[in-house]
Structure 1
């Protein structure tokens, strides 16, 4: 009897039980169950809200039970047999301390990695992570995981069986990248001073006289880490471009965007394209320039970088598109050429991002900073989604624009902060 037959007969009860048992480390295909559930929702055989509630209840019940099993039985078992796998009392104590401090951050992403999600509950219980902390991250991650896969199954509909392997792979890559980013943030926080000293010496080539605040030093290190991350992504994109490996990603991403936003969104998407134009960039650049003139101490330096990032970003974009020379998709008999990377997303991330950085660097209100950053990210995403929806650019073009723009903006933030630390007489020496 196949999974679809079982799902037709037992419905929500099967969803609950399958995910409950999978969280106890039984070898059950959780993503497949949720994706078929989404397919049944698409076909009208199941209710979306009830399906998500059943799946969320099953997975949270499973991770709760696995935690308490690990809590009650895990440490005695490890004390008795752990030395055989190099997990003696001393190693277990160190692991408890580390996992209690930092392991909770990884729980949210663990559900996307097969094999890892099955043991996190037992491990968190065995390491005596406080249940309240465990529940916050484990429950939110589990509910997000099930809702995402059910929604994907509903969006993909009858094409789910064609795309599900690609979607699963991208979800695993996303989870691993998120976990690595979490580890990177932890390393930055713990070894910040040591890494700052080394990176500053390396980047300034042994300059002996620099003056900076702790905030500036942290900005230098953060910009350097962002530059390394974006350069790594850029090299991977170039490699995939040269190997012609974007076809499946473009097909899946375009289908998902077109399915999420139906024909009724067409007029709005046409209007959203105006966000990637001078109508947005002009006032934003002007506002950043006025803010620098009014409130910045290094007016000449910041104004120079503002206009250099804008103008240089345009030159970079033109050069890259001529270099890669990739024709865009054909939509309604119309085709753009040289669309890799996307001009709109590269310009949006550089102009909006750098202008916001210059404005917020001197602004003290933390809530306003968070809201502005969220708004910039949202606007840049809307610009990219509109290009994909209107099928004037491939999703890989859009992603490449974000990545190449991230390289450009992080490089210039890094250079700006390094120059800001130099004594003024050396910076502007004739």
Structure 2
């Protein structure tokens, strides 16, 4: 995080936007660390935190949208691109496709909190054309407006104490994962109940 803070301090909003855009392509830099670092330089007086929030939101949505449109325009051909191959290795593509078939658009929302699969989910959503861009960006925005402000304002608030910020980040990440698991479990339970109810109706009809 110290490296990002130094980098952002020198180049401001543009640097934050650029790194977030690159994160959308699967750059191995945690998005939450990038957002917190952007908030830190605001707390140190290099930028305005509210403008930083807007820039961060635009950067996040632009990165995600780029992956969507790459999949939408090139289709499965994009999977042969050298920069894309590392994202879909290790069975990730197959796993995401199965998740998409099972959870549909709900996966788009939870993808914001799945760093290892986020870029692949957005890519597959474009390839399969299961969702139009208006709905994609709306769902992505609804997820981003939850996480992005939290990280940016956390960095701004604790700019003078990075150890405290890192401690809160770890706590926040743990809470997010617990909530995510709970949401996934709830959705799976609802789907199971719907299928069970449908099966009962079919049996009664017969």
Q: TM-score, normalised by structure 1?
A: 0.38
Larger radius of gyration: 1
Q: Determine the C-alpha separation between the residues in 1 that align with 2:53 and 2:200.
A: 45
Partner of 1:48: 49
Alignment pair present for 1:192 and 2:194: no
Partner of 1:39: 40
Partner of 1:132: 134
Q: Determine the C-alpha separation between the residues in 1 that align with 2:150 and 2:178.
A: 15
Q: Deviations over 1:212-243 (max 9, x none)?
A: xxxxxxxxxxxxxxxxxxxxxxxxxxxxxxxx
Partner of 1:154: 156
Alignment pair present for 1:73 and 2:78: no
5+ residue gaps, structure 2, are: 80-90, 202-206
Tell me: CA distance 1:178–1:41, structure 2 relative to 1, closer, same or farther (3 Å): farther
Measured after TM superposition, the shift of residue 72 of structure 1 is 2.5
The residue correspondences of 1:29-428 to structure 2 (distance < 5 A) are 29-76=30-77, 99=100, 102-129=103-130, 130-157=132-159, 158=161, 159-194=164-199
Q: Determine the C-alpha separation between the residues in 2 that align with 1:195 and 1:6.
A: 60
Look up the SS of the partner of 2:108 in the other structure.
Answer: helix
Partner of 1:296: none
Q: Determine the C-alpha separation between the residues in 1 that align with 2:134 and 2:101.
A: 12
Counterpart contact for 1:113–1:175, Cα < 8 Å: no
CA RMSD of aligned residues (A): 3.2
Relative contact order (alpha carbons < 8 A, sep ≥ 6): 1 or 2 greater? Answer: 2
Q: Deviations over 1:340-395 (max 9, x none)?
A: xxxxxxxxxxxxxxxxxxxxxxxxxxxxxxxxxxxxxxxxxxxxxxxxxxxxxxxx
Measured after TM superposition, the shift of residue 65 of structure 1 is 1.1
Measured after TM superposition, the shift of residue 119 of structure 1 is 1.6
Measured after TM superposition, the shift of residue 75 of structure 1 is 2.9
**Count of residue pairs the alignment pairs up:** 185
Q: TM-score, normalised by structure 2?
A: 0.75
Counterpart contact for 2:71–2:78, Cα < 8 Å: no
Look up the SS of the partner of 1:112 in the other structure.
Answer: coil
5+ residue gaps, structure 1, are: 79-84, 89-94, 197-430
Measured after TM superposition, the shift of residue 194 of structure 1 is 4.8
Tell me: CA distance 1:151–1:185, structure 2 relative to 1, closer, same or farther (3 Å): farther
Partner of 1:323: none
Partner of 1:12: 13
Counterpart contact for 2:5–2:40, Cα < 8 Å: no
Counterpart contact for 1:106–1:182, Cα < 8 Å: no
Q: Deviations over 1:72-127 (max 9, x none)?
A: 3333467xxxxxx7x99xxxxxx59x837842112222212221222221011111
Tell me: CA distance 1:76–1:118, structure 2 relative to 1, closer, same or farther (3 Å): closer
Q: Determine the C-alpha separation between the residues in 2 that align with 1:46 and 1:187.
A: 49
Tell me: CA distance 1:108–1:151, structure 2 relative to 1, closer, same or farther (3 Å): farther
